[in-house]
């Protein structure tokens, strides 16, 4: 069993920055790959970024084109925490952001592949 607790959301002006944190608990957490999704009102949930610790290079990351160059995902093993650093925020980044874990252990884009979800944290970018 994996439990995910997000924090770090809030209200920020255009061009500002926020860092979201996802603290994970569970003895088997190290086997999971992690993703950050977001869902805006009336829109489908979309993958923003994902990270795994598997693979020849020790891991891989994915960042959606819509946020590439502005968002960065990272993993602090010692703290069992995944971060989403969001810079140069735009009004279209406004959404509820969710942290999720998938037991496959590698980066996947479909929300249906993720087994555990956090409660979500609201990010609002004002113009």
Q: Per-residue DSSP letters for 1-16?
A: --EEEEE--EEEETT-
Q: Which of 100, 127, 126, 104 is nearest to 45 (CA)?
A: 100
The pairing of strands 10-13 and 121-126 is: parallel
Is the pLDDT assigned to residue 69 strictly greater than 90?
yes
Q: What is the pLDDT of residue 29?
A: 72
DSSP symbol at 125: E
For residue 2, is pLDDT > 90? no
pLDDT at residue 58 above 80? no
- Residues 44-61 have a mean pLDDT of 82
Taking only the tens place, the pLDDT of each residue in 19-52 is: 999 999 886 677 889 999 999 999 999 999 999 9
Write the pLDDT tens digit of every residue in 71-127: 999 998 888 899 999 999 999 999 999 999 998 888 999 999 999 999 999 999 999
């Amino acid at each position: 069993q994996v439990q995910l607790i997000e924090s770090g959301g809030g209200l920020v002006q255009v061009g500002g920055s926020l860092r979201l944190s996802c603290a994970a608990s569970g003895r088997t957490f190290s086997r999971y790959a992690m993703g950050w999704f977001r869902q805006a009102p009336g829109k489908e949930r979309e993958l923003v970024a994902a990270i795994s610790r598997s693979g020849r290079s020790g891991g891989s990351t994915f960042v959606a084109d819509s946020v590439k160059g502005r968002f960065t995902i990272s993993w602090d093993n010692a703290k069992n925490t995944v971060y989403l650093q969001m810079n140069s925020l735009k009004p279209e980044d406004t959404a509820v952001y969710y942290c999720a874990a998938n037991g496959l252990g590698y980066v996947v884009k479909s929300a249906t592949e993720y087994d555990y979800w956090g409660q979500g944290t609201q990010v609002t970018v004002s113009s």
